[in-house]
Structure 1
Amino acid sequence: MSYQIQNLKAETAAAFTGLFAITSENVRHFENGEYFVLYARGSKRVQSILGAEREILVLGNVYDDQQARSVRFARRLINESDGRLESSLCVIVHQDPRGNAKLKRWGRENGLAVIPVYTSTGVLPRNQELERLLSYEFFTQDPFDVTGPVANDAQFFGRRTEAQELARKLQSGHIRACFGIRKIGKTSILHRVLAELKDNFDAVTLFIDCQRDDVFGMDAAGLMHSITQSLLSLKASGRAYAEVDACPSGPSIAEAARQFQAALSEFDRAVVLAFDEIDYITPSNGGAEQWRAGFVEFWRNVRAAYHAAARDERRVSLLVSGVSSRWFAVESIDGVENAALAFIPEEYLSPLPRGAANAMIKNIGAMAGLRFEEAALEAISSFCSDMPFWIRKACSSIHSKIETAVRPITLQASVVSAMLEAYGHDEGAALAKVALQHLFRVYPELREPSLALLVEDSQLPAGVRRTLNRYGIADTTGRVSGSMMRMALVMVADEVPFTDNSAPKQDEARPLVSEWAEELAGISYRRNTMERALRSLVINFLRMSALTNKDGASAKASLLSAIPEKRRFDLEPFNLELIADKLFWLELVSVINKHWQLFERIFGDKSAFNENASIINDRPDAHAKHLEPSDVAMHRRALQWLDERIAKV
């Protein structure tokens, strides 16, 4: 094996000459694997392409089946280099036909942009061919595409200190909660807290995943008995962590509570009970009716055990994670005093601070050759309400629209904003809508106040505004937190049609939110359809003109000639389709006016075209102004005018 690895090391060093200067080389072993290790400093051109100022790690092996240990070894070497190596980039040379995709995926999980170089013969390309290969493999990967919980430092933006502080408090016997909208990052921070407890604190942790069928399928006595048996098993084994083992049957709630208190008294170190997806064992879960009454029973006895442990000077901690804080904030349930009230605090995992959201976009984007102006970072974070998962999905969409050949590229706010708008209508609003629907299902009291935000100058009680802000629906001023959130709220409101055609009585009057949203949704949908049709029309006619007039300008040049110089500079790197996709409505109108001779036979009257285009550009859904019947009629007439003319093409 050593002979083969030495040959591949020599071949790699020779192939990289001209693009890199090799500053260090050796052969190392890691987890029974053998690797060559090179430190390579890129030429100025390579540094510019990859955005790398430090040396780059080049790792290689001769195995025909790559394992995740290769990326773990790369991460260890980078961490141990004391800043000498690029922290988020490495090259791995390998001989696994399926290795490229695996190494990229494992790299994303470890916060690394892995550039895989596959060779079946042990011979690597040289010079420009190697440069093209490295650029392609680097720029085509999507580092924003992370679907599961995030835990490592390279991906865990803005919340590392928060997780460490939470773990410290749990070690000290505190009760903490982590409520938040779906995909806000609750599971990620929970996993990070559990890892902190395992690695840095002397505590016994029992994890209760309430979404498991065998967990929420039990009643209060059964779950308490299962927790007790799992704790006793931990005590007997000496282990520090386990997931609850569900027992199909158990004693009465009174006996289960007694046994639970007795089990807690067996421990001399802190006991942490971590509940995830808590909504499944609350009255919100219509599929588990036993928790309608069982919720109060369970928490009454947990509270009694917690207080008993405190009197005995033993540390017992609780961590509750879920979407809805509703059942921990009401005074009674079905007339029974709520034992969880003031026992489990109303603490939320809110959206990222703006600085952390921008840093996440900037750092991850660098792994794919995407650089963002500060204004572009602000535009993305604001559009996505600083929700980390939403930001990743939006940036993944942006990544897919940028050609590999033009990277690295710095994206400006004007370009990014157009992409965000398209993403919101095509996918983003539906993604946000799912999160809102889930929240409103488990916390229905928030639905009407949330929809009321769509109405300008809506007056909501301070407590409600505070809750909406904690969930990321409203900002600190009481307005909708971002465009993607607004689009989703409009979609949710549109699902509740206003059917009463008669005027409501004075004492029955309510904000006609759904009626307002329905009109806006209809106008928005027709305008977006119109905009796509107009883009296609512009592209096709400019292409036709360029083909028939071979001595004239290209279709791309004709398009750019109608755009202001600054925007022209921004859009120059893209092809015709992508440029058209990024144009604003008024820019499309300008292109048509610039080349009116091509479009005159379609639209006929230039002044009528511009008047109707101007009406359509007035977007009431973007600034939430009140729609009068005359506004609706005017928008519909303008859309109909353009529809009829485009349909004849």
Structure 2
Amino acid sequence: MSDKLQPGIHRNIDLNKAGFFRSEKHLVWQLKQLWFVTFAKYQNFKGSDYSFAFLRPTERIQEAFRLEREILVIMLRYDTFDTRILDFVDKLMFEYTNRLDKLCFLLVSNDQNIQEKIKELTLREPESRIIVPYHYDEFFQENTQETIWNRLKEHFYGRDLFSFESPLQNDTYFFGRNEFVHFFYDKYRTGENSGLFGLRKIGKTSVLYALERQLIARDEFSIFIDCQDPSLHKRRWYETIEYIMHRISTKLKSKFNYEIDLETDYSEKNASSSFVSDLKKAYKTLNNKRLLIIFDEIENLTFSLSSTEHWKSGEDYMSFWQTIRSAYQANNYLFSFLISGVNPKIIETGEVNGFDNPIYRMITPKYLNFFNVEQVKEMVSTIGNYMGITYDEEIYTYLTEEFGGHPFLIRQVCSFMHNDLTKSRPTRATKFYYKSKKKIFDKRLVDYIDLIIQVLKNWYPEEYELLEHFALGKANLKTSESDIITEHLIGYNLLEKDNDNYFIKIDIIRDYIKNKTQKVPADISTSDKWKKITEKRGLGEQKLRELIKLNLKLQFGNVKGRIEFLKIIDSSSRRFERLSALNLDEILDGKNEIYLDDLKKFVLQKWNIFEKVFIDKQLFDIYLTLINRHRVDAHAKEINNDDFQAVLIASNWLLEKLNEILK
């Protein structure tokens, strides 16, 4: 492509032969004043007519928006916008993958409310492509060129494309992980089981979603099981087996309209045989294609780690995985499975409750690594270009070294830069600007670092203890590379080896641990420990009641808010009967039969209301469970220093979150 490309239209394009309406020809005429039109076509897709064209960025477009590939423009003749158009866009993006920019397209519609509808779509689906909407009438005005230009600026420069916090559910903003997707797809194709491990927020679930998309593209089948969902891990092992099979059956029905007559006996005695029988039915329904079962957040079904006692004790763990293993070994053509979590403890522990672990060494763990400088540059520069931001070359190195190449943390820093930099775009983030703001960026990342590290502290205390050792300055500690704890920390990309010594790889994590480390005084008495716990628990519970009451009133009002809250109480209980006679203020005043576990349950059920306060649902669940478990009335008077420190950290976290809102 020439850097000096001027506006115009390719000489071989004949809009009459392409089937364009008169109005659509005028749209193209207006567009070719800013772009170079390279291709135009009319096409019917799923009963709807679409005219579309490819626009090559001219010199002016390139300088303003850093676009290099051709941009798709779709023209909708209909008066009502239908989201089915997005399926057609996906189809074109796939067919012309070597030509079209995958992150954005222009949409010209006859729908009078097209701008509002695209805004709603973007809010509802933050991962959607950049859609620049226009109405037909805007192309028949004196200021059409100004309108086209200003709308481009509004939608490219105004949207924060770095700020995604949830796993990526499409390929639009998916960078640097294709080799992992191909690896796990090859495992599935050869009938092998696999395991994906790594720190929180590193992108494991995004990889799993990408793997599912690849299976769909190849007409193959998978089922995604989110193990942190209480509707899964609150079930007994045989109920979980049945639940998985029902999920498979439901997906076959919704996606392909395939019906499976499932077995009815999923009792403890017969769940295993019913599972195999139903898998065979699914296999035949899928034209003899193997299915893939993906278990994400596997800690929730793991002995000693799950928050649900019958899994944590190892009893249900053993029966569940014995069923999965025996079904697989006898019929490995039917299915394979992939487990994903932080730590491969589930496959590295030889015995559970004195019996052989059914999946011990059944899988070789694969850790999801951080980005290198080239991958950081690809992600940051590509997304930044659409937002009108370019970066000094040194910034890619700083981001890689200072944040270890952790993609989520890097995206958050880039989001901070976008919101801090001048809104007059295009602009440049210089190395001097970055250095001047580094401390502010680090401070804003504390909550995210907390999410990443606290899982180690709560689930894998030996690993956290070793990490803490390094953070406190004992960087010259020598430890055997064969030591499984060290292997895990290296797998997480947290530790790096240099001349037989180990160092924390990410400065911000080292500093966070150093600042957060709380040493319990050796002479503190048991009564003082309980006094401190009771004080913090009481204050946290009081503030949580206030937050819930405030949100209920704002979201539902007094009357409906009271009804919504009482849904968490068993309606057949005497407690429900007593509470039903009270108003909302009375129910949550702390004097009636509402307990911390009730408050936790309500927040989890209404997470969309509280997500901005607590950020991480799983961490909230873990901390509230920990606080509730250590009550004076629930335990003997003795409490060891490790438990005391853990409860303090959980209580302080809860109070910090609540104090930010209830000042």
Question: TM-score if structure 1 supplies the norm length?
Answer: 0.65
What amino acid does structure 2 have at the position aligned with 1:448? E
Distance 1:473 1:118, change over 3 A: farther
The aligned residue for residue 181 of structure 1 is: 199
Distance 1:219 1:41, change over 3 A: closer
Q: Distance in 1 between matches of 2:415 and 2:258?
A: 36
| Residue 252 in structure 1 maps to residue 272 in structure 2 | no
Q: Distance in 2 between matches of 1:379 and 1:174?
A: 39
Identity of aligned residues (%): 22
* Equivalent of 1:490 in 499, 510, 514: 514
The aligned residue for residue 322 of structure 2 is: 300
Report the Cα offset of residue 128 of structure 1: 4.8
* Equivalent of 2:188 in 161, 164, 170: 170
Q: Distance in 1 between matches of 2:279 and 2:132?
A: 51
| Residue 468 in structure 1 maps to residue 485 in structure 2 | no
**For structure 1, which runs of at least 5 residues remain unmatched after alignment?**
503-649
Q: Distance in 2 between matches of 1:298 and 1:114?
A: 46
The aligned residue for residue 282 of structure 1 is: 302
Distance 1:452 1:346, change over 3 A: same
The aligned residue for residue 175 of structure 2 is: 157
Q: Distance in 1 between matches of 2:95 and 2:137?
A: 31
Q: Is the 8 A contact 1:99 1:118 kept in 2?
A: no
Q: Is the 8 A contact 2:263 2:278 kept in 1?
A: no
Distance 1:162 1:72, change over 3 A: same
Q: Distance in 2 between matches of 1:299 and 1:54?
A: 49
CA offsets per residue over residues 132-158 of structure 1, 9 Å max, x none? 442233211222233443254442212
The aligned residue for residue 210 of structure 1 is: 227
In angstroms, what is the RMSD of aligned CA positions? 3.9
What amino acid does structure 2 have at the position aligned with 1:285? S
The aligned residue for residue 604 of structure 2 is: none
What are the within-5 Å matches in structure 2 for residues 397-436 of structure 1? 397-405=416-424, 407-426=425-444, 428-436=445-453
Report the Cα offset of residue 304 of structure 1: 3.1
Q: Distance in 1 between matches of 2:495 and 2:258?
A: 38
Distance 1:257 1:501, change over 3 A: same
Distance 1:368 1:32, change over 3 A: farther
Q: Is the 8 A contact 1:383 1:420 kept in 2?
A: no
| Residue 372 in structure 1 maps to residue 391 in structure 2 | yes
Distance 1:196 1:79, change over 3 A: closer
Q: Distance in 2 between matches of 1:436 and 1:246?
A: 43
Which secondary structure does the structure 1 equivalent of 2:328 belong to?
Answer: helix
Report the Cα offset of residue 278 of structure 1: 1.4
Distance 1:118 1:472, change over 3 A: farther
Report the Cα offset of residue 231 of structure 1: 6.9
What amino acid does structure 2 have at the position aligned with 1:280? N
What amino acid does structure 2 have at the position aligned with 1:339? P
* Equivalent of 2:60 in 3, 25, 45: 45
Q: Distance in 2 between matches of 1:421 and 1:207?
A: 39
Report the Cα offset of residue 9 of structure 1: 3.3
What amino acid does structure 2 have at the position aligned with 1:473? L
Q: Is the 8 A contact 1:264 1:309 kept in 2?
A: no
Q: Rg bigger for which structure? A: 1
Report the Cα offset of residue 485 of structure 1: 2.3
Which secondary structure does the structure 2 equivalent of 1:453 belong to?
Answer: helix
Q: Distance in 1 between matches of 2:301 and 2:486?
A: 27
Q: Distance in 2 between matches of 1:172 and 1:240?
A: 27
CA offsets per residue over residues 342-397 of structure 1, 9 Å max, x none? 12433322323442232111211111112223321122233332222222222111
Q: Distance in 2 between matches of 1:236 and 1:40?
A: 41
Report the Cα offset of residue 448 of structure 1: 0.5
Report the Cα offset of residue 63 of structure 1: 5.1
Q: Distance in 1 between matches of 2:105 and 2:343?
A: 42
What are the within-5 Å matches in structure 2 for residues 203-242 of structure 1? 205-227=222-244
Q: Distance in 1 between matches of 2:233 and 2:515?
A: 31
Distance 1:241 1:281, change over 3 A: farther
| Residue 115 in structure 1 maps to residue 132 in structure 2 | yes
What amino acid does structure 2 have at the position aligned with 1:300? Q
CA offsets per residue over residues 81-140 of structure 1, 9 Å max, x none? 464544444322344241342465689635x43333457766453445643442233211
The aligned residue for residue 609 of structure 2 is: none
Q: Distance in 2 between matches of 1:370 and 1:235?
A: 44
What are the within-5 Å matches in structure 2 for residues 568-587 of structure 1? none
The aligned residue for residue 504 of structure 2 is: 480
CA offsets per residue over residues 500-524 of structure 1, 9 Å max, x none? 479xxxxxxxxxxxxxxxxxxxxxx
CA offsets per residue over residues 561-580 of structure 1, 9 Å max, x none? xxxxxxxxxxxxxxxxxxxx
Distance 1:34 1:422, change over 3 A: farther
Question: TM-score if structure 2 supplies the norm length?
Answer: 0.64
Report the Cα offset of residue 433 of structure 1: 0.8
Report the Cα offset of residue 431 of structure 1: 0.9
| Residue 331 in structure 1 maps to residue 355 in structure 2 | no
Report the Cα offset of residue 273 of structure 1: 2.8
Which secondary structure does the structure 2 equivalent of 1:59 belong to?
Answer: strand
Q: Is the 8 A contact 1:380 1:391 kept in 2?
A: yes
Q: Is the 8 A contact 2:130 2:155 kept in 1?
A: no
What amino acid does structure 2 have at the position aligned with 1:425? K
The aligned residue for residue 528 of structure 2 is: none
The aligned residue for residue 56 of structure 1 is: 71
Q: Distance in 1 between matches of 2:246 and 2:388?
A: 52
| Residue 319 in structure 1 maps to residue 334 in structure 2 | no
Distance 1:385 1:55, change over 3 A: same
Q: Distance in 1 between matches of 2:454 and 2:324?
A: 31
Which secondary structure does the structure 2 equivalent of 1:300 belong to?
Answer: helix
Q: Distance in 2 between matches of 1:404 and 1:336?
A: 62
What amino acid does structure 2 have at the position aligned with 1:46? I
Which secondary structure does the structure 1 equivalent of 2:106 belong to?
Answer: strand
Q: Is the 8 A contact 1:59 1:93 kept in 2?
A: yes
What amino acid does structure 1 have at the position aligned with 2:155? E
Q: Distance in 1 between matches of 2:487 and 2:394?
A: 28
Distance 1:476 1:235, change over 3 A: same
Which secondary structure does the structure 1 equivalent of 2:503 belong to?
Answer: coil
Q: Distance in 1 between matches of 2:21 and 2:398?
A: 50
* Equivalent of 1:309 in 314, 331, 338: 331
Which secondary structure does the structure 2 equivalent of 1:60 belong to?
Answer: strand
Report the Cα offset of residue 209 of structure 1: 3.0
What amino acid does structure 2 have at the position aligned with 1:379? Y
Distance 1:212 1:78, change over 3 A: closer
Q: Is the 8 A contact 2:138 2:147 kept in 1?
A: no
The aligned residue for residue 371 of structure 2 is: 352
**For structure 2, which runs of at least 5 residues remain unmatched after alignment?**
1-15, 525-663
What are the within-5 Å matches in structure 2 for residues 9-158 of structure 1? 9=24, 12-13=27-28, 15-16=30-31, 18-25=33-40, 27-61=42-76, 66-81=81-96, 83-94=98-109, 95=112, 96-102=114-120, 109=127, 112-117=129-134, 123-124=140-141, 125-128=143-146, 130-158=148-176
Q: Distance in 1 between matches of 2:157 and 2:37?
A: 23
Distance 1:117 1:327, change over 3 A: same
Which stretch shifts more, 429-438 or 88-97? 88-97
What are the within-5 Å matches in structure 2 for residues 593-604 of structure 1? none
CA offsets per residue over residues 402-435 of structure 1, 9 Å max, x none? 2232x22332333223334312202x12111112
Distance 1:231 1:9, change over 3 A: closer
Q: Distance in 1 between matches of 2:443 and 2:316?
A: 43
Q: Is the 8 A contact 1:225 1:256 kept in 2?
A: yes
Q: Distance in 1 between matches of 2:486 and 2:310?
A: 31
Q: Distance in 1 between matches of 2:388 and 2:124?
A: 19
Distance 1:287 1:15, change over 3 A: same
Which secondary structure does the structure 1 equivalent of 2:131 belong to?
Answer: strand
What amino acid does structure 1 have at the position aligned with 2:506? G
Q: Is the 8 A contact 2:252 2:259 kept in 1?
A: no
Q: Is the 8 A contact 1:205 1:240 kept in 2?
A: no
The aligned residue for residue 343 of structure 1 is: 362
